[in-house]
Amino acid sequence: MSNSRLVYSTETGSHKKESPAGDGWSKASGNAKMRLETGGRGGKAVTVLFNLPLEESEAKDMLKAMQAAFGCGGAMKDSTLELRGDVRAKVEAFFAKKNLKIVRAGG
């Protein structure tokens, strides 16, 4: 069998995940927002902060300060901050002390 046609290739196609514009941190304008997510996390609650009007270094510092103040874990993913647990009330109080506005999104 001397057939030399290509049967399968991983070089092209839509199997590769395309990153959204920029891939990484982006400073937003407007109100910062937060929501509580449980989907895809084994039923565990995660407070997600997004649309933050901060530079990446400012966001890292804020995440560390919130983790220490709330006694919870957290992570930066793309342009969001994730805090373990339902800490929305604590986040609102934290932002009020910093004179920043944050609104609840998604109910």
Per-residue pLDDT reduced to its tens digit, 5-48: 877 767 765 544 444 444 567 777 778 999 999 988 888 999 99
In a domain, 40, yes or no: yes
Burial class (CB in 10 A: 0-12, 13-18, 19+), 66: buried
At position 74, the amino acid (one-letter code) is G
Judged by DSSP in three states, 28 sits in coil
In a domain, 24, yes or no: no
Look at residue 80 in the predicted model and tell me its pLDDT: 92
The answer to whether 88 touches 38, Cβ cutoff 8 Å, is no
Instruction: Assign residue 36 the CATH number of its domain.
Output: 3.30.780.10
In a domain, 89, yes or no: yes
The total number of structural domains in the chain stands at 1
Can you give the residue range of the structural domain that contains 71?
Answer: 32-104
Task: For residue 22, give every residue at least 6 positions away whose Cβ sits within 8 Å of its Cβ, in sequence order, or none.
Answer: none
Look at residue 1 in the predicted model and tell me its pLDDT: 56
Look at residue 61 in the predicted model and tell me its pLDDT: 95
Q: How many residues does the chain have?
A: 107
In a domain, 92, yes or no: yes
Q: Average model confidence (pLDDT) for the chain? A: 84
In a domain, 53, yes or no: yes
In a domain, 81, yes or no: yes
Rounded Cα distance between 59 and 25, Å, is: 9
In a domain, 5, yes or no: no
Residue located via tokens 């009020």: 96
In a domain, 7, yes or no: no
Judged by DSSP in three states, 93 sits in helix
